[in-house]
Structure 1
């Protein structure tokens, strides 16, 4: 049955927490007193919700981790290294070797820990049943020569990820979900462009630090993260940093994007489940190498993503209520300007629809009720009367925004995928921010859309596969 959200007379009051103070107090590159080498620390969740503490440090050795008062050494994940220049998404003259001059250390955080810290800094520990979740994505600063698109990384108004991250941390989440595209500083800033002058670029530590670890420090320290891989973390782009820094699984030789001959391993990985308690879970899968144009016969992606779907099925059956987490929205709708400046709608993702649809025309296993994605640089909700899961897109957290409006209402018959009948579409275009989810029951969530300072701009209710929002368009 359809359900409604009562219209609010006014936006709720926002807790007044100074964003600048949060940024300064949580900055991961400022070490505690007495520690010589700067370091970054955070926690990622992987298969079956296993928590892994990560430390990125300039020190000559990994530090100790203190778990419930007991100190033990962390394990080296990746030593500092310079990776030879490889073919990338950019021409050779706009590419360079990747310099990783930090040591990556890690340690498991067993379930039931009361406390964990590194060099005096407490680590956020996972909760068995997280009730407050931040969802954000597409957070890097766009420096792309091939699109002649150079974002003003030096202007906090035009690249506000640090402000977004601090506001999201102030909301005090139990869990953070990043839906991909962490890294965007691929090419050098043009001479004379003061908006991005001096920005690091390429795929090494300096660009990763500028795109994620410095501006995102407050949020990295606020809660454990679940991370989805975006197309900007494919092997021809930021894949080396993805494997060294973020992926929760062990770093394996050949699955590191260092050598192009191994990209068939480095560009794909198996899905995994993260329990949320109350018979619910996240289902995380890697879509970095799909294509919105669809796969041609013989292209390896088709077989890889069909294999991904076959592995999703048994994972989905582990819980009654499943939320899919991936970068490319199979059930989303975007818009851009085609030839002669005419707008066109961009529907779903042809590569994934082609791959998954060959096995299941409904695209997702039955237990999937909600899909969280990024890739399209806006916020969006789509609910369907056809039994498909609700789609939420949270790709509006730092990267230059999409600005072409989506028609309201949609033209008759428009659908992101075969058989998917749109019941409601809500969107916010050309506004930076983040999304939150608060648990209201085993299959029920209240979703709110926040601007970059944390003010609530829209509220949605999710029950099972259906969702409805207070506003169809946020202005």
Structure 2
């Protein structure tokens, strides 16, 4: 009788093999092109191909070849003002052609040059959620992550394990790109890393380490503050945003940032009278807006539009980068603990229209930005907040008190009934549908092992462990 590995061991072996392959240094990836699928308004699927070939390839839909459209030609974008001083900035070199094609509803197969493209199911039941995946190289914070060490920068391992879970859909809650400044001389942890906002840094931060997951399922993408116009906004518009790339809404020139930094929300159907509501919070501020700030009016306009969109389905899950209802922690003033509550800019903007901050049928919020995993459930009728900012970027390490100080709240009127968190651990989150308004959420470590399980019913959620150690 032939020897067979038990199913769980076989699955683990496949995940480890994928991780080993995906963790190879980007310089060794000789793949001639990158392909993936993003979902936009009303769930419209767009296939993208990034190639250094002189022309866009054909896409094959149900056995018939069709031309792809050029989204962005190779270009070098002149140096512009960024969050870094001029000597730590440079022109953005995009020496790759961006091609795209709409995937019609009902298409049964799609491929490019023999490589299959993932197609969106009508009723996704298995969803991977992850965020904050780039390798942090930032001089102003003196933060230089060891991008060359798969243990300290494990996004490739995380992406491979998440792909081995076989999701129907991937949700990335923002902050794809972190390699902003050059690695210091003599730092072997990040020696040789590309930096800046061009293709080489985007490839190293997302497309090479995330290749297995990009091929596994279509992606829904939220824009993070690291994709604002003064950071990696040029690559965001070229590579990821599902909408058309328009002159002046591309972050190429600082004079147009008021267009490039804001965009309208949209919905992605999930079947069974459910939807994702995706909105752009890249330019909010945790400090709050000053009177007359353009951002205040922009985000009030965002709220009015998402309020109308939320009415399209009975059950709505919000997807954005900055957690309205989350809690972080750091050490300030000679090591004194400081809790970071909600997001002042969004609370200020949305709260001026709706003191409860979100439409009534938003039952769940998925966010990133805080570099940890977190769940918060409320007895006050606010939606549960999940944060999945723990998938590659250097982690937050200051523990959140357990229990919280009495009266702690991320936003006015929000009464916490349970907070669960995992600090200083890399991984990804999964969601499996258990009913029209019910989900089982699991927290996986970088290699896919389950570290916590939560049940979501409507707006409320409960997890097996309040703190994962």
Verify the 8 A CA contact 2:376 2:419 in the aligned structure 1.
Answer: yes
Describe how 1:6-405 pairs up with structure 2 within 5 A.
Answer: 15-19=11-15, 21-22=17-18, 38-405=32-399
Residue 25 of structure 1 deviates from its aligned partner by 7.0
Verify the 8 A CA contact 2:22 2:209 in the aligned structure 1.
Answer: no
Aligned CA RMSD, in angstroms, stands at 1.6
In the other structure, the counterpart of 2:5 is: none
Task: Indicate the SS of the match to 2:12.
Answer: coil
Task: Indicate the SS of the match to 1:157.
Answer: coil
Give, in whole Å, the separation in 1 of the partners of 2:140 and 2:204: 21
Task: Indicate the SS of the match to 1:265.
Answer: helix
Give, in whole Å, the separation in 2 of the partners of 1:123 and 1:25: 20
Question: Kindly tell me: are residues 325 and 14 of structure 1, through their superposed partners in 2, closer, same or farther at Cα, counting changes over 3 Å?
Answer: farther
Verify the 8 A CA contact 1:17 1:170 in the aligned structure 2.
Answer: no
Give, in whole Å, the separation in 2 of the partners of 1:367 and 1:48: 18
In the other structure, the counterpart of 1:7 is: none
Give, in whole Å, the separation in 1 of the partners of 2:403 and 2:19: 40
Task: Indicate the SS of the match to 1:382.
Answer: strand
Give, in whole Å, the separation in 1 of the partners of 2:206 and 2:33: 14
Verify the 8 A CA contact 1:14 1:454 in the aligned structure 2.
Answer: no
What TM-score comes out, normalization by structure 1 length?
0.95
Q: Are residue 428 (structure 1) and residue 422 (structure 2) matched?
A: yes
1:65-118 per-position Cα deviation (integer Å, ceiling 9, x unaligned): 000001011000000000000000000000000000000000000111110000
Describe how 1:443-454 pairs up with structure 2 within 5 A.
Answer: 443-454=437-448
Give, in whole Å, the separation in 2 of the partners of 1:203 and 1:56: 16
Verify the 8 A CA contact 1:270 1:285 in the aligned structure 2.
Answer: yes
Runs ≥4 in structure 1, deviation > 4 angstroms?
23-30
Give, in whole Å, the separation in 1 of the partners of 2:208 and 2:197: 16
In the other structure, the counterpart of 1:456 is: 450
Q: Are residue 412 (structure 1) and residue 406 (structure 2) matched?
A: yes
Give, in whole Å, the separation in 2 of the partners of 1:19 and 1:131: 21
Task: Indicate the SS of the match to 1:139.
Answer: coil
Task: Indicate the SS of the match to 1:15.
Answer: helix
Give, in whole Å, the separation in 1 of the partners of 2:23 and 2:409: 43
Verify the 8 A CA contact 2:16 2:161 in the aligned structure 1.
Answer: no
In the other structure, the counterpart of 2:468 is: 474
Higher alpha-carbon deviation: 325-334 or 337-346: 337-346
Residue 19 of structure 1 deviates from its aligned partner by 3.6
Give, in whole Å, the separation in 2 of the partners of 1:403 and 1:300: 34
Verify the 8 A CA contact 1:384 1:466 in the aligned structure 2.
Answer: yes
Verify the 8 A CA contact 2:22 2:210 in the aligned structure 1.
Answer: no
Residue 23 of structure 1 deviates from its aligned partner by 5.0
What TM-score comes out, normalization by structure 2 length?
0.96
Unaligned runs of 5+ in 2: 1-7
* Aligned residue-pair number: 459
Residue 27 of structure 1 deviates from its aligned partner by 9.5
Unaligned runs of 5+ in 1: 1-11, 31-35
Give, in whole Å, the separation in 1 of the partners of 2:384 and 2:273: 19
Question: Kindly tell me: are residues 371 and 164 of structure 1, through their superposed partners in 2, closer, same or farther at Cα, counting changes over 3 Å?
Answer: same
Residue 15 of structure 1 deviates from its aligned partner by 3.1
